[in-house]
Amino acid sequence: MPGVTGAGSLIRVVRRDEMTPSLPSDFVLTATDNTALASGFTRLAQNVDLCAVESLLPLLPADSGCYLWLLCHECRQYKVYLGRAGSIRKRVKDYGLDFQLHSPNDFKLRLFYSFMTEWWPGSTLDLYFAAHPAAHLRDRERDLIRQFRPLINNLPAPSDDERTIVQDAFRAYYRSVLGRLLGPPIKTLERTGLSL
């Protein structure tokens, strides 16, 4: 459905395709990427719904290794995110969880998935996995990120405004939690400067 933008007497109808972000060609799976994927990875799952991973979990190995999420849209594959896991089954289970305050970074793929279903209806998310010994996972992950250069692994550094948004959200959260734990804010006596 078209949206309407503008102010006052200036109104412009915006088609949905003008409001939808395009997928950058930098993240398309190339022939070279496809060769590396075919030689080192196994596709564990197609069309993954990150809001309902429970039925997928019994089909996944508990092995350690590196994984790659690919977005499939209009007959093209896009490299979305590459990570490492001590157990791919546990990692996928974690991605299915709601927002966890102690690890907000884990929610990034769920957020991407929600944007994906809104912006590119009909697109799917596939999971690829390469088993690797846990002792060398960090180095293997780093090398694979350099090789594949997935979208989420290559986000730009946050701007000052974006950093402030996150900082303010954490500040509000901790103020609220500490307020519940410690009671109402401490008031300062104006004349003596003492705290109650």
pLDDT per residue over 159-189, tens digit each? 999 999 989 988 888 888 888 888 766 554 4
Are the beta carbons of 126 and 46 closer than 8 angstroms? yes
**pLDDT over 70, % of the chain:** 84
Same domain membership, residue 44 and residue 97 = yes
User: What is d(CA 138, CA 170) in angstroms, rounded to the nearest whole number?
Assistant: 29
Same domain membership, residue 49 and residue 31 = yes
CATH number for position 93: 3.40.1440.10
Query: Residue 79, by phi and psi: left (phi above 0), alpha (psi -120 to 50) or beta?
Result: beta
> Is 153's pLDDT higher than 90?
yes
Contacts of 16 (CB under 8 A, 6+ apart): 1, 2, 3
Same domain membership, residue 183 and residue 140 = no
User: What is d(CA 69, CA 152) in angstroms, rounded to the nearest whole number?
Assistant: 10
pLDDT of residue 2: 46
pTM of structure: 0.79
Does a structural domain hold residue 17?
no
Q: How confident is the model over 145-164, as a mean pLDDT?
A: 94
Are the beta carbons of 120 and 72 closer than 8 angstroms? no
Candidates 5, 153, 141, 8; CA nearest to 78 is 153
Contacts of 77 (CB under 8 A, 6+ apart): 28, 29, 70, 71, 126
> Over the stretch 43-97, which tens digit does the pLDDT of each residue have?
999 999 998 999 999 999 999 999 999 999 999 999 999 999 999 999 999 988 8
Same domain membership, residue 33 and residue 99 = yes
Does a structural domain hold residue 150?
yes
**pLDDT over 90, % of the chain:** 64
Residue-number span of the structural domain to which 125 is assigned: 24-155
Same domain membership, residue 173 and residue 134 = no
Q: How many domains are contained in the chain?
A: 2
